Amino acid sequence: MTIPLGLNMPCPKEFEHLPHTADVIVVGYGETLEEAFANAAKGVFAVITDVKKVEPKECREVEDEADDLEQALYKWIDDLLLYFDSEGLVFSKFEVKLEKKEGKYLIKGRACGELFDPEKHEYGTIVKAMTYAEMKIEKVGDCWRVQFVVDI
């Protein structure tokens, strides 16, 4: 169930997962757009494992350029999933900076976590890919909300 957002209401939570036919809808909330991007990333990794058990031992940097906010969100999440696929890293702490320069969005981010350890981390559902499906980026009252589907 989506939490209704009204004018001048604080963000209801960091993220939530909504039901979808065969995949997962991730919704990230934040007082700033950057915070919503960070919380959306946390929501993606919460599909994979319990992020409360992931210690921020190793960090990876993400730097990218996008034509619009939707592409910026896509690239941010896609780059993080690449670290999971290639290095086995799961993340729990995220920082994002967005800047619009010369008609492009510059994304600079940092994700911290550790190698997935089946003895420590619970198996959730493997996220195969980020998608543009049902993607929304909107500000409602005082809260930013970003939404998208991940392929599982």
- Binding-site positions for Ca(2+) read 23, 151-152
Residue carrying structure tokens 């409360």: 52
Please give the Cα distance from 66 to 102 (Å, whole number): 11
Please give the Cα distance from 116 to 113 (Å, whole number): 9
Please give the Cα distance from 144 to 151 (Å, whole number): 23
Q: 52: which DSSP letter?
A: G
Helix ranges (DSSP H) in 49-129: 69-87
Please give the Cα distance from 97 to 34 (Å, whole number): 6
**Is the dihedral angle over the CA atoms 57, 124, 52, 95 positive or is it negative?**
positive
Task: Show binding-site residues.
Answer: 23, 151-152
